[in-house]
A = this chain, B = another copy of it.
Amino acid sequence: MDRVTLRDVAQAAEVHVSTASRALNEATRAVVKPETVKRVLEEAEKLGYRPDPIARGLRTSQTLSIGIVIPDLENPLFGPIVAGIEAGLAADGYSVLITASTSHREDEAVRSLTDRHVDGLILASATLADPVVERLAKSGPPTVLVNRFTENVDIPAVIGDDQLGIRLAVDHLVEMGHTNIGHIAGPDQMSTGIDRRRAFEGLMRDYGYRLLVEGATGFQIEPGATAAARLLEREPSITAIVAANDLIGLGVYRAVRSAGRMVGSDIAVTGYNDVAMLDLVQPAMTAVHVAYRHMGAKAAEVLLAILRDEDSPTTTLLEPTLAVRSSTQTTSG
């Protein structure tokens, strides 16, 4: 089953390959006689012709493929993001080249993609000050950041509204009567870390509450637990903790228990992201819910708009919601 080439179609339709090419091509179809177009299309259909993206790419330097860089594919966050991107692009015929910046360094990941002439790039791996992103902004294919963004760079980003998200969590806790509210922040190198921290700080100022913050060295359970332990020791009067993400929140659970106190009744805890099964841990964790699949789809949409030369917003903020569960209810545990 050898590949059917444009030449085959042209021969079958008894025209020159250039004519066949024009007939097949939406944009140039107008210049060839309708009758000829019909004949070519029929033969192409009959033979099952499918244009070779490689050959076309060589000539046009467009590959109908876009590259995406994910920092850590094992993180359950990124599955839905990739799914959203893939679905958003598939409709327009784009394929997805994926690289994880764990197996390469980020710049190698990007280079391996640009080497392959991707038409666009979606990065989920951006850090706050990211030389790779800066270079891409100057020269490189159209790029969209997703989930995280980079400061002082003119590249569109599709991210969650962290300020709103933190406000949802804090307001909920305040409503439940808490005034000594702590925050376990994520790493400062990522916008999701620093933005949530700043949002929290701003709200505490507004409410006139004391600022009780500890930074975790990573967005995982372990760092969350140690940071929370520090905070709980330093400020035993705390009654609620806003965690920078779900895993840190689970770390907080652990620290709270180590301190001989109870999650929910003694100390309310909120997570962020609302990953799967967070409603099944004990107690079910209240969390800011981010629609990651939608975020991916939106990023695809923005990138497609750029590729079509439409203008598009430089930043898209997605509104999170709050999933209230028992970790912030005083009732039982």
User: Which residues does A use to contact B, with CB under 8 Å?
Assistant: 1, 50, 52-55, 57-58, 63, 65, 72-76, 78-80, 82-83, 86-87, 90-91, 95-100, 102-104, 111-113, 115-117, 139, 250, 275-278, 280-282, 293
Contact = CB atoms under 8 A, between A and B. Distances in A.
Nearest to A88: B103
A82 B50 CA distance: 28
Contact of A250 (B52, B87, B278, B280): B280
Contact of A104 (B55, B74, B83, B90): B90
Contact of A281 (B54, B65, B72, B281): B281
B95 A116 contact: yes
Contacts of A100: 83, 86-87, 90
A82 B112 CA distance: 18
A73 B76 CA distance: 10
In the complex, the count of this chain's copies comes to 2
Given A54-B63, A95-B112, A115-B53, A102 B83 contact: yes
A203 to B, nearest CB: 29
A54 B65 contact: no
A7 B87 CA distance: 39
A82 B54 contact: no
Contact of A87 (B75, B76, B103): B103
A74 B115 contact: no
A72 to B, nearest CB: 8
Contact of A65 (B78, B83, B87, B97): B97
Contact of A73 (B75, B83, B117): B83
A308 to B, nearest CB: 20
Contacts of A117: 52, 54
A293 B72 CA distance: 12
Contacts of A98: 82, 86, 96-98
A63 to B, nearest CB: 7
Contacts of A76: 76, 79, 276
Contacts of A282: 280-282
Given A54-B54, A54-B117, A72-B83, 14 more contacts: A50-B111, A50-B115, A73-B83, A74-B79, A83-B102, A86-B100, A87-B103, A90-B103, A90-B104, A95-B97, A96-B99, A250-B280, A276-B277, A282-B282
A295 to B, nearest CB: 13
Contact of A116 (B65, B78, B102): B65
